[in-house]
Amino acid sequence: MTDQHRRAVIAGLRDLADFLQANPAIPVPHGSIHVTYVPERAADADMCAEIDRIAALLNTPIDSRLLARGHYVTGLDFGPVRYEAVAIFAEARARFEALDSYAGCVTPNTTGGDPARSA
């Protein structure tokens, strides 16, 4: 990430906040908003080291609840806005890519009936 890109992201976030404040009729999301940093693909250990570095800067722990899903995550909340840094392990990416390879191969029944109840 270049300093120019970093400045552009920060300016864009400020512009969005100013726009929403100046236009109260524009709705905002009901839930939380996530700003997520994902390191470039590398060995799992290297990506974890990057997330550990960010966790130290944020003074936040690694969220151990997501480790079983192959996500190494830390983050900091600013009200309903969350900055998070996420590394997705190679095995989790491979599982997703295998599942995604079936995209378009299954067509749901959209004729209006409940297929589970029609038997």
Contacts of 69 (CB under 8 A, 6+ apart): 92
Strand partners, 78: 81
pLDDT-derived band at 109 (thresholds 50, 70, 90) equals confident
Task: Report the pLDDT value the prediction gives residue 111, as an integer from 0 to 100.
Answer: 76
Residue closest to 58 by CA, chosen among 32, 83, 86, 88: 83
pLDDT more than 70, % of the chain: 85
Local structure of 60: helix, strand or coil: coil
The strand ranges marked E within the chain are 33-37, 71-78, 81-88
Question: In whole angstroms, what is the distance from residue 29 CA to residue 11 CA?
Answer: 20
Question: In whole angstroms, what is the distance from residue 61 CA to residue 102 CA?
Answer: 36
- Tens digits of residue pLDDT in 22-75: 999 999 999 999 999 999 989 999 999 999 999 999 999 999 998 888 899 999
Rounded to a whole number of angstroms, the CA Rg of the chain reads 20
